[in-house]
Amino acid sequence: MAVEVKSLLLEKDTPAHASGYRDHPPRMGFFTDTSVCIGCKACEVACKEWNQVPEDGLSFTGMSYDNTGGLGADTWRHVAFIEQRRRGVHQISDNQAEQDSGSLRWLMASDVCKHCTHAACLDVCPTGALLRTEFGTVIVQEDICNGCGYCIPACPYGVIDQRQNDGRAWKCTLCYDRISVGVEPACAKACPTDSIQFGELSELHRRADQRLGQLHRAGVSDARLYGRDERDGVGGDGAFFLLLDEPEIYGLPPDPVVTTRDLPEMWLRVGVAALGIASFIATSFIGRRHD
Amino acid sequence: MAECHPVGFQWVMEAKARGATVIHVDPRYTRTSAVADLHVPLRAGTDIAFLGGIINYVIEHERYFRDYVIAYTNGPTLISEEFKDTEDLDGVFSGLDAEQRKYDFHSWEYQTGTVQAASGHREMEAEKAARHQERHRAEAAKSKTAHGESHGSGGAAVPGNADRDESMQDPRCVFQVLKRHFSRYTPEVVEQICGVPKELFLTVCETLSDNSGRDRTSAFCYAVGWTQHSVGVQYIRTAAILQLLLGNIGRPGGGILALRGHASIQGSTDIPTLFNLLPGYLPMPHAGVDVDLDTYVAGEETEKGFWGEMRSYMVSLLKAWWGDTATPENDFCYDYLPRISGSHSTYETVMAQLDGTCKGYFVVGENPAVGSANAKMQRLAMAKLDWLVVRDFSLIESATWWKDGPEIETGELETKDIATEVFFFPAAAHTEKNGSFTNTQRMLQWHHAAIEPPQHARSDLWFYYHLGRLIKAKLAGSSEAMDRPVQDLTWHYPTEGSIAEPSAEAVLAEINGYDADGTPLSSYEQLREDGSTACGCWIYTGCYRDGVNQAARRKPWREQSWVAPEWGWAWPANRRIIYNRASADPDGKPWSERKAYIWWDDDQARWIGHDVPDFDVHKSPWYRPPVGATAAEALSGVDPFVMQADGKAWLFAPTGLQDGPLPAHYEPQDSPFANLLYGQQRNPVRVVFSNRHNRLHPSPSEQGSSVFPYVLTTYRLTEHHTAGGMSRWQPYLAELQPEMFCEVHPELAKERELEHLGWATIVTARGVIEARVLVTERMAPITVQGRRIHQIGLPYHWGPNGYSRGDAANELAAIVLDPNVHIQEVKAFTGDIRPGRRPRGPASVALVEEYQRRAGITRSTGTEVRGGR
């Protein structure tokens, strides 16, 4: 059993195929190019409007223009604002004003559920409420979720969350209802600068690689893709990003690992240990009998 | 632009992706700066110095597009010997009447004589009547009267043959005057006024120059904050001069694009909600002057250019409004039109409310109690009204000030003493009604109602149609002559649906115009002065061509040319770039293959190209008008600016502007710095009001000026809409920017012991507010003239009502206006900041008074005409 789970996780085919879909559509996802994000938050609003996600309170956080704080049960798209002072950049003048502004950078990035290839939330869900769709995305079925909350600590990104006064787990569905009828997700539709792009994951990979090359050639050497690598700890993300700095700067884990990765091995060890204990007990008794 | 116009900004990002360089000039580091190639912070209120510096650079280094300037601008035109520049008069132009606080424009004219403005001021001046008479007596050409926003579709008139020096060497030619005028705007001066380091400034100059000329063009985009200065119109004029010198007007990729503050503000200028205009920039008649149609037309039409057909436009408008009642015998009911007797701008209306002459007020889709300068005066004025009608989505502050406004808290007003009867009507959203938006490109785009408005909410169209219907019914039996204009008004719009919504398309059809048989017109050239055509707005003729709603066209760009003429409809005549004759050289050939747009085809003997030519298509580049030609015929084949009387773009405006034929840098009304360029501190003819609630700050040389040591600037955030009526009640928007805050630099926070996330109190001589503190390096201090000056950022969305609340930044701003268009100065003024929350009740009034005392402010402080440094 444990061995079988492991091989399933390593299945080279698409997650949808691995989940038993045959004749499924291509894997769909998001490519969020943060280098063209203007921080308008249209994605946050469009997501809430379409998915009827509740407003979650007025709190002035002081974290630049980010008063949302992070992804949660009531926030499925979140735009981070990072004000940076970068020494030694653009110092073309002795004038203080120029130094003040020239080295300033304001990063904006719209975060979302990663729709992991190896999704721990899905692995740990005891009710089957969490589901891999035919598009390879991960959704919560709200009529099945019983609010056990196992999925919440399982997510390596801290995305999925329990709603207060409801108890159930909620997160981005990649607008399953929209993409099922051939319409792009609300956030991608609303994004004015195409920072959020929706499409076939393979095509998005191609575009992202191209964009990264373009930025590198333009001297933006810190630009990098995040969640693009299929060999990473979650097998690559269905929603991946182009970042302009270290992932930690954006509040993203640098090296996410599917929290259920070690489960088979752990179970194997548990089994071995159990066998050991059993044999020890058995031999103890045998020994005793010999006494 | 990314902050206030994120949807439009997608095209900037698209241009950037295709290699464009994006330069952002703004005191603040905003969302636009974050994605720009270059951010240039400058001291708020110094843009004329900055742009003037670029003009000086362009002339000095011969980077201007010489062939374009000679052929298409008034650069070679000789101006009057009488003209004296700011160079000669230490910061003012000839003709200043300090007593009357205004200029006499006679000395600004061309050497050949009289010029008629078409773009500029059209307010009634005392001598206008005299000029009318004089003109009629002489049966001569046009008066020197300055005009208003009128002729926003075009320019002004001068009689044909102005003297020109094609070499542009004559010291009296516009180009040489311009060169002398801006010669003192050196990079060093720019650095000392704007705080922009010389190297950075020169980078901007070089980048812009390199990207302009035959092969390349650059565009200026501004949000309307650029206009909100006591020299607001001159800001835009400076940009226009620069763009003309660089050859960036009338060509693809060029232009100056005003990103308006609301959807369809362009539309509300074309079919105006302005006091001094009728639809299509026809001027509103003046009482006692424009006594009949002949006088009115004689006073306003031009000899040359398309304004020469003004009578046809006016008669067709009168026919649209009064139908069969309008006949040649009764002057087409010209007498039914209301008259203006002076400036009735929004702020003058406030003053008229305060003195009791204005008794009723419609506030529609606007929230003056929060969104207009000196919010307190807005409320105090409304408290003097007999009645007030407010139409909005929610109970905005302008509808509830009488029971819970700030003056109720301070005790300055008591509800029981307020006699104003307030009517609130819930309004429909744009998604709940049909109609058009006109954008900055003059393009009409139709929107269809997705759903009927809820409950009692109704569209403005519904409201005014039914209001008019009811008033007409009430007056039906009247025999009073004053009721005739309403009785005779054509008011027959079909209604639709259960709520009897008038057909917006029927209104569009009336705007488009029709002939005597009721057939829709297709071009304003079909309009006639004999009353055989009716047209609600001549520049919009063609928007309902062939009975088809052209504004509703949505052919994807992939299926048509890159100019996309079948997406919506642009006035005039579906032209996407106006004055596009300038995209070709004088011989009619494109300036370059790369920038080819419209050109003369010899074989076909006509203008062809990617867009509708903004020129008589059969008029060859070599056409020269015969002596005595008038109107459009008087324009030559090398006169691209067809609405201008001389067919040329004006580097120097011989008439039309209240505050000078050229822009000059003046400090804002409230400024911590003396004007480094001239002995003249402020715009001498700015509009100031002396009122105890509108006190002005001392000049920088005066003792009290240090009481208000910081520069304040107000602005919008992406998350909210203007005064908040459309956003503060929306939970999904409110949570994104939940309350009023101010933005300060860490150094200022330290200096004034302001804590991040704590509270700050901000004070001016007008008012006091509190705001949460956001400490950020994005509000960079500026070092000029050896002083490091901090600028405080104040979003102006909030007021005490709604879900997301806070004090209104406009409590702090004074009513000080640009003299041309009466826009308020709210982007640059001064104030003080201190930690903690503001006092409550009467103590807040006492605090403001204490500041006034400490600064030694009197009723005359800051109101001088001359000097003031």
The pLDDT of residue B150 is 43
The beta-carbon neighbor of B2 closest among A38, A48, A57 is: A38
Residues A96-107 pLDDT 10s: 444 454 589 999
The pLDDT of residue B126 is 38
Q: Is A49 on the interface with B (CB under 8 A)?
A: yes
Options 3.40.50.11810, 3.10.20.440, 3.30.70.20, 1.20.140.150; CATH for A25-258 is 3.30.70.20
Q: Collect all residues with Cβ–Cβ distance below 8 Å to B433 and sequence separation of at least 6.
A: B447, B449, B453, B459, B461, B462, B501, B504
Q: DSSP string of B682-708?
A: S-TT-EE---TTS--PPPTTSGGGGGS
Mutate which: A106, A217, A220, vs B, most B CBs within 10 A: A106
Q: Is A33 on the interface with B (CB under 8 A)?
A: no
The Cα B232–Cα B820 span in angstroms is 9
The beta-carbon neighbor of B734 closest among A58, A102, A104 is: A58
Evaluate whether B587 touches B556 at the Cβ level (below 8 Å). no
The Cα B371–Cα B365 span in angstroms is 11
Q: Which two tokens stand for residue A53?
A: 């996600």
Mutate which: B11, B194, B200, B741, vs A, most A CBs within 10 A: B200
Q: Which of B10, B44, B11 shows the shortest CA–CA distance to B26? A: B44
B692 lies in some domain: yes
The Cα B483–Cα B477 span in angstroms is 10
Q: What is the DSSP letter of A120?
A: H
Q: Which of B303, B300, B298 shows the shortest CA–CA distance to B628? A: B303
Q: Which of B179, B185, B218, B175 shows the shortest CA–CA distance to B46? A: B185
Q: Which of B226, B254, B242, B221 shows the shortest CA–CA distance to B8? A: B221
The pLDDT of residue A281 is 78
CB-CB neighbours of B578 under 10 Å:
25
B261 lies in some domain: no
The pLDDT of residue A71 is 97
Determine the residue of chain B that is closest to A45 in CA distance. Answer: B732
The beta-carbon neighbor of B10 closest among A55, A93, A192 is: A192
**pLDDT beneath 70, residues of chain A:** 1-13, 87-102, 285-291
Q: Collect all residues with Cβ–Cβ distance below 8 Å to B337 and sequence separation of at least 6.
A: B278, B284, B285, B318, B485
Q: Collect all residues with Cβ–Cβ distance below 8 Å to B331 and sequence separation of at least 6.
A: B292, B293
Query: Count of domains in chain B?
Result: 2
Residues 53-92 of A with CB under 8 A from B: 55-60, 62, 64-65, 67-68, 83, 85, 92
The Cα B343–Cα B97 span in angstroms is 19
Helix (H, G, I), strand (E, B) or coil at B531: coil
Q: Which two tokens stand for residue A30?
A: 């998001």
Half-sphere exposure of B236 (CA within 13 A, CB side): 23
Evaluate whether A68 touches B732 at the Cβ level (below 8 Å). no
Beta strand B256-259 pairing with B220-223:
parallel
Residues 179-218 of A with CB under 8 A from B: 192-194
Helix (H, G, I), strand (E, B) or coil at B74: coil
Find the domain containing B400 and state its range.
346-434+447-483
The pLDDT of residue B135 is 47
Alpha carbon of B732: minimum distance to chain A alpha carbons (Å): 6
Angle at B222 between CA B220 and CA B225, to 5 degrees: 155
The Cα B1–Cα A125 span in angstroms is 46
**pLDDT beneath 50, residues of chain B:** 122-130, 132-133, 135-160
List CB contacts (< 8 A) between A40 and chain B: 2, 6, 31, 718
List CB contacts (< 8 A) between A102 and chain B: 39, 200
The Cα A284–Cα A289 span in angstroms is 8
> Can you give the residue ranges of every domain in chain A?
25-258
Q: Is A39 on the interface with B (CB under 8 A)?
A: yes
Evaluate whether B743 touches B810 at the Cβ level (below 8 Å). no
The Cα B852–Cα B79 span in angstroms is 46
Evaluate whether B389 touches B423 at the Cβ level (below 8 Å). yes
Determine the residue of chain B that is closest to A35 in CA distance. Answer: B35
Angle at B98 between CA B95 and CA B174, to 5 degrees: 25
Q: Collect all residues with Cβ–Cβ distance below 8 Å to B599 and sequence separation of at least 6.
A: B583, B584, B588, B589, B590, B607, B608, B609
Q: Which of B738, B743, B756 shows the shortest CA–CA distance to B805? A: B738
Evaluate whether B672 touches B789 at the Cβ level (below 8 Å). yes
Dihedral angle sign, alpha carbons of residues B9, B11, B12, B18:
positive
B468 φψ region: left (φ > 0), alpha (ψ -120 to 50), beta (else) = alpha
List CB contacts (< 8 A) between B772 and chain A: 60, 62
Q: Is A42 on the interface with B (CB under 8 A)?
A: yes
Do A55 and B7 count as a contact with CB atoms less than 8 A apart?
no
Determine the residue of chain A that is closest to B197 in CA distance. Answer: A95
Residues B658-700 pLDDT 10s: 999 999 999 999 999 999 999 999 999 999 998 999 999 999 9
B727 lies in some domain: yes
The Cα A236–Cα B842 span in angstroms is 63
Q: Which of B812, B710, B682, B868 shows the shortest CA–CA distance to B230? A: B682
Q: Is A255 on the interface with B (CB under 8 A)?
A: no
Do A92 and B41 count as a contact with CB atoms less than 8 A apart?
no
Evaluate whether B742 touches B792 at the Cβ level (below 8 Å). yes
B650 lies in some domain: no
The pLDDT of residue A289 is 53
List CB contacts (< 8 A) between B9 and chain A: 38, 192-193
Alpha carbon of A275: minimum distance to chain B alpha carbons (Å): 56
CA torsion angle A113 A118 A119 A122 (round to 10): 150
Q: What is the largest CA-CA distance in chain B?
A: 80
The Cα B757–Cα A61 span in angstroms is 8
The Cα B407–Cα B384 span in angstroms is 14
The Cα B666–Cα B862 span in angstroms is 14
The pLDDT of residue B136 is 41
Half-sphere exposure of B212 (CA within 13 A, CB side): 28
The Cα B296–Cα B356 span in angstroms is 31
Residue type, B540: Y
The pLDDT of residue B153 is 37
Give me the CATH number covering residue B420: 3.40.50.740
Give me the CATH number covering residue B734: 2.40.40.20
The Cα B308–Cα B299 span in angstroms is 11
Beta strand B768-775 pairing with B759-763:
antiparallel
Range list of H helices, A42-194: 42-51, 96-102, 120-124, 151-154, 176-179, 186-190
Q: Which of A200, A199, A197 shows the shortest CA–CA distance to A189? A: A197
Do B195 and A67 count as a contact with CB atoms less than 8 A apart?
no
| Peptide linkage before B572 cis (omega within 30 of 0) | yes
The Cα B430–Cα B450 span in angstroms is 9
Alpha carbon of B786: minimum distance to chain A alpha carbons (Å): 11
Residues A49-78 pLDDT 10s: 999 999 999 999 999 999 999 999 999 999
The pLDDT of residue A13 is 66
Evaluate whether B103 touches B685 at the Cβ level (below 8 Å). yes
Evaluate whether B823 touches B227 at the Cβ level (below 8 Å). yes
Q: DSSP string of B639-688?
A: ---TTSTTSSB-SS-SSS-SS-SS------SS-SS--SS-SB-S-TT-EE
Q: Is A95 on the interface with B (CB under 8 A)?
A: yes
List CB contacts (< 8 A) between B803 and chain A: 58
Beta strand B791-795 pairing with B710-715:
parallel
Evaluate whether B22 touches B16 at the Cβ level (below 8 Å). yes
Mutate which: B194, B717, B736, vs A, most A CBs within 10 A: B736
Dihedral angle sign, alpha carbons of residues B577, B578, B580, B583:
negative
Q: Collect all residues with Cβ–Cβ distance below 8 Å to A133 and sequence separation of at least 6.
A: A16, A139, A176
The Cα B851–Cα B766 span in angstroms is 10
Q: Collect all residues with Cβ–Cβ distance below 8 Å to B517 and sequence separation of at least 6.
A: none
Alpha carbon of A95: minimum distance to chain B alpha carbons (Å): 6
The Cα B415–Cα B387 span in angstroms is 15
